[in-house]
Amino acid sequence: MVWATPVALHAFKSVARRSLFQSAFTAPRTLPAISCNLEPLASTSSKSPLQAIRFFSSTPLQLHGGITRPEPGTGVKIHFQAPDGSPLKTVEVNEGDDLLSIAHEYDIDLEGACEGSIACSTCHVILEPDVYDSLEEPCDDENDMLDLAFGLTDTSRLGCQVKVSKEQDGMKVQLPSATRNMYVDGK
């Protein structure tokens, strides 16, 4: 049979590929109608409507966007302080939120260049000794990044790695006087 030869198969694939390529550019350009009614999606599964929709991303949906703010009076209070120790802002957050996400949600100037992937030290924060002692030991990756942090102290942690718990209600988080962003600063 003639079609069984490798050359013939290659030629057939090339013709098919060319045909698909041409039809993609000659076909009428119409988009399918998109419905904004998400109720059918929500009623068919236990997931929220946004979780039922597949977006073009390789990370879970909950890792995109901000955190949800708790109802007033029900969350854990955190007192952010300026580098000189003066009060900056007091916020109320949910248990389990990390300090970097909290700072971004409440417009507190904490950079977080790597977006919480432990690849920089720009979310470096300074904690009170009792709060620092209540946390788990930092992992090796976090310690490596803290070594690069500007103004490192004995109670320094990366904000992206500190998860808030009820026991930390009223804790004070001091921002450092500067950050060192290797991507921007160069060396």
Distance (Å, rounded) from C-alpha 109 to C-alpha 112? 9
Confidence of residue 179 (pLDDT cuts 50, 70, 90): confident
76-174 is classed in which CATH architecture?
A: Roll (3.10)
| Structural domain boundaries in the chain | 76-174
Look at residue 46 in the predicted model and tell me its pLDDT. 52
Confidence of residue 123 (pLDDT cuts 50, 70, 90): very high
Q: Starting from the edge strand earliest in sequence, which strands make up the sheet with 87-93, in order?
A: 87-93, 76-81, 171-174, 124-127, 156-158
pLDDT of residue 139 exceeding 80, the answer is yes
* Secondary structure (DSSP) of 140-177: HHHHHHHTT-TT--TTEEEGGG-B--GGGTTEEEEPPS
Q: How many Å separate Cα 114 from the centre of its chain? A: 9
Distance (Å, rounded) from C-alpha 152 to C-alpha 124? 8
Q: What is the mean pLDDT of the chain?
A: 77
Across 57-71, 83-97, 145-159, 164-178, least confident range:
57-71
Look at residue 36 in the predicted model and tell me its pLDDT. 43
Look at residue 186 in the predicted model and tell me its pLDDT. 54
The SS3 assignment for 47 reads coil
Joined tokens for residue 76: 């854990």
Q: Which residue would you say has higher pLDDT here, 173 or 180?
A: 173
Task: Identify which of 68, 81, 96 has the alpha carbon closest to the alpha carbon of residue 167.
Answer: 96
**Residue written as token pair 């990370």:** 59
Q: Which tens digit of pLDDT belongs to each residue from 47-105? A: 455 555 544 545 544 455 678 999 999 999 999 999 999 999 999 999 999 999 999 99
CB 102 within 8 A of CB 78: yes
